Structure 1
Amino acid sequence: MQCLTSIVSYFQWRKVTVIYERSNTFSLDSDIISVLSDSLKSVDSTVEQHLAFPPINSLFDPEVAIEQEFRKLSTRRNRVFVVLQSSLQLATCVFQKAHQMGMLEKGFVWIISEEIASLLDSVDSSVIASMQGVIGYKTSFVDTSKLYKKFKIRFERSYLTKYPNDQGNPYPSLFALRAYDAVLAIGKAKKDSVGKLYSNMSNFVGLSGNISFRNGMIDQLPTFKIINVVGNGYRDLAFWSAEDGFSTKPPTQSGRKNDFVKLGPIYWPGSQQTVSRGFSSGVISQKPLRIGVPASGAFHPFVNVSFDEVHNKTFMTGFAVDVFRASLKYLPYDLPFTLIPFYGTYDELVHEIHRKRFDAAVGDINILEERYKWADFSQPYAKSEHVDDPEFGDSSLFQQVGTIFWFSFSLLLFAQKKPCSAAEFWIAVTR
């Protein structure tokens, strides 16, 4: 869960939708979601929704069931999906249906946990083709040792003998290696009584890595490999451990903690080159925001509305407009908008906003904090007005942006009401 949380935090996604297959123990499912939710809260993110499928062998028609649930998800704005707990069979159906329904196009993010990522070597090309752009994490182990190479040859021979017509790759997954190591560990302790079996297990180097015990428990945190599904398989992006975070090499080889590791370049769904914001504003409403721009202000360097008769086009420029456009880049989703010149007073513009002719005016920070809340522009922006919504990231950032907005807004307000004194101008600037 810490590794998954680190991935979500790195890309600054504020909401995720979790998809999982119910196990035989319902309480275990609840615990997994609870642990993930608590972990995400530490990085200002949250589980917006979790979609639980019953075991796939209990579904009469898995494809129909998955499609029905995915149609419900398509009405929501969140675009970050995590396949947290699933059999390979259900995960295969999930991605093939998601690919068919256009949910692996630009703007979408899919993350797979170790349960699926560690089995990618065993799936055929049709499954990989439906997972292009997916990222995930899997336990890292040394696959260059003589012990592993010898076991791999024996495993492949045995597998092909038993399943000669299988189209998948006959490679041993992590779970096969762990099963082998578990039997080996028990074999080392079989000379003791059953009651002391676990306490007498010795430390050794297994196929899945170094196996060590303390008080009858495995005493080693795993190192994960961050992967990106692309082409006919996947490529490695980085390593992650609880102690060092992301690193370019396994912690045992890195020698020191990396201060900053860039994950990339990444092949995202739909061949997107940039990181998806994980959010879509067009699902609920396709209409752009109507932003009123004061056209009669005296401070033209801040807001200036001009009309080009040759091209029959209105231009809106100035510091406040530039700040507004730049601030939209910090939103975790695309926000369509239209700038509309307003030739009355600013008080009249505020009145028109309350009448819902406009959604907001240049200079208002509230539209960045809550998409559909009507703002009261007659009151100065204060820290108490800030809404702490994890969807919008670091609150300090928006406090800084709010200060800039209020700076330009104050000048506009003074310009509309009356000429201001030097003291009033200084108060407006320093606020």
Structure 2
Amino acid sequence: MSPSLGPRFFAKARDIGMMEEGNVWITTNGMTNSFSSSSSVDIYNMQGVLGIKTNVPNTKELENFRARWQTKFQQDNPTILHGKLDVFGLWAYDAAWALALAVEKVGGTNFSFQKMNSSHNYTVWGSLEASQGGPELVRELSGTRFRGLSGDFSLINGQLQSSTFQVVNVNDNGERGIGYWTPQNGLVRNINSNTNTKQILYF
């Protein structure tokens, strides 16, 4: 379910009594990541919903980037008062950084372009050119690993990997973190990288 459709779905579920006691709703990563930008009406309609979302470690680099982004966003969009940088924006930034690293390793001089062959007589296709270095760039991008703003960046089969997810519960005026999921430990209540303290999460 898309993040834009989710609030409408839960509004209808509340209307027909399916948000009352005895019903359990669990949302996936894509929708849960959008909770932070939901309106107060949407949050009201989703009271009690459980979800998992990508855990983004809070670092000094991330705090500084958010502050710079917020300043720039307000300058460019003075009529939007509460713009937020969510995990999708962080992923986009990290993806652009990964592409730049891959291009640097491949070398810009290795790129040549060839006109695309098309069986259709579309003018737009006739003007397009394909990079001959594309396969090499894809291979380099697939092997790119670094610590980005959203956490560890790595691609497996073309998909961005998330090593840790946070389990959240929608209540009151927003979301409340209740635990985490990691590939190594499954569901845990706390993750403390300094002391390696982990508590199993039970429902």
* Range into which the TM-score falls when normalised by the shorter chain: 0.7 to 0.9
Aligned positions of 1:297-376 closer than 5 A: none
Q: How far apart are 1:103 and its partner, in Å?
A: 1.7
Matched, 1:208 2:150: yes
Residue in structure 2 matched with residue 336 of structure 1 by the alignment:
none
CA contact 1:223–1:250 (8 Å) conserved in 2: no
Q: How far apart are 1:200 and its partner, in Å?
A: 2.9
Residue in structure 1 matched with residue 175 of structure 2 by the alignment:
234
- 1:109 is paired with a residue whose SS is coil
1:173–1:160 CA distance, 2 compared to 1 (3 A):
same
Q: How far apart are 1:107 and its partner, in Å?
A: 1.1
Partners of 2:202 and 2:173 lie apart in 1 by 24
1:160–1:87 CA distance, 2 compared to 1 (3 A):
farther
Amino acid at match of 2:100: G
**Percent identity among equivalent residues?**
30
1:179–1:219 CA distance, 2 compared to 1 (3 A):
closer
Partners of 2:44 and 2:164 lie apart in 1 by 27
Residue in structure 2 matched with residue 123 of structure 1 by the alignment:
38
Q: How far apart are 1:236 and its partner, in Å?
A: 0.5
Structure with bigger strand share is 2
Amino acid at match of 2:72: S
Of the three residues 60, 72, 83, the one matched with 1:170 is 83
Structure 2: gaps of 5 or more residues: 111-132
- 2:93 is paired with a residue whose SS is helix
Aligned positions of 1:19-418 closer than 5 A: 86-143=1-58, 145-166=59-80, 169-191=82-104, 192=106, 193=110, 194=133, 195-201=135-141, 202-212=144-154, 220-250=161-191, 252=193, 255=196, 258=199, 260-263=200-203
Partners of 1:138 and 1:105 lie apart in 2 by 24
Q: How far apart are 1:262 and its partner, in Å?
A: 2.6
Partners of 1:95 and 1:182 lie apart in 2 by 32
Partners of 1:173 and 1:252 lie apart in 2 by 23
1:220–1:96 CA distance, 2 compared to 1 (3 A):
closer
Partners of 1:166 and 1:105 lie apart in 2 by 35
Amino acid at match of 1:171: K
The TM-score, its normalising length taken from structure 2, stands at: 0.74
- 1:222 is paired with a residue whose SS is coil
Runs of 4+ that moved beyond 6 A:
none
Deviations 1:267-296 (A, max 9, x none): xxxxxxxxxxxxxxxxxxxxxxxxxxxxxx
Q: How far apart are 1:89 and its partner, in Å?
A: 2.0
- 2:53 is paired with a residue whose SS is strand
CA contact 1:135–1:226 (8 Å) conserved in 2: yes
- 1:152 is paired with a residue whose SS is helix
Q: How far apart are 1:171 and its partner, in Å?
A: 2.1
1:170–1:245 CA distance, 2 compared to 1 (3 A):
same
CA contact 2:54–2:162 (8 Å) conserved in 1: no
Q: How far apart are 1:222 and its partner, in Å?
A: 2.1
Deviations 1:103-140 (A, max 9, x none): 21111111111111101111221111111111100011
1:219–1:112 CA distance, 2 compared to 1 (3 A):
closer
Higher relative contact order (CA 8 A, sep 6+): 2
1:111–1:165 CA distance, 2 compared to 1 (3 A):
farther
Partners of 2:193 and 2:160 lie apart in 1 by 16
- 1:236 is paired with a residue whose SS is strand
Structure 1: gaps of 5 or more residues: 1-85, 264-431
Q: How far apart are 1:94 and its partner, in Å?
A: 0.8
Amino acid at match of 1:121: S
1:102–1:165 CA distance, 2 compared to 1 (3 A):
farther
Residue in structure 1 matched with residue 127 of structure 2 by the alignment:
none
Q: How far apart are 1:206 and its partner, in Å?
A: 0.3
**What root-mean-square deviation, in Å, do the aligned CA atoms of Structure 1 and Structure 2 show?**
2.6
Partners of 1:250 and 1:217 lie apart in 2 by 28
- 1:238 is paired with a residue whose SS is strand
CA contact 1:228–1:235 (8 Å) conserved in 2: yes
User: Rg bigger for which structure?
Assistant: 1
1:249–1:149 CA distance, 2 compared to 1 (3 A):
same
Partners of 1:254 and 1:244 lie apart in 2 by 15
Q: How far apart are 1:220 and its partner, in Å?
A: 5.0
CA contact 2:190–2:198 (8 Å) conserved in 1: no
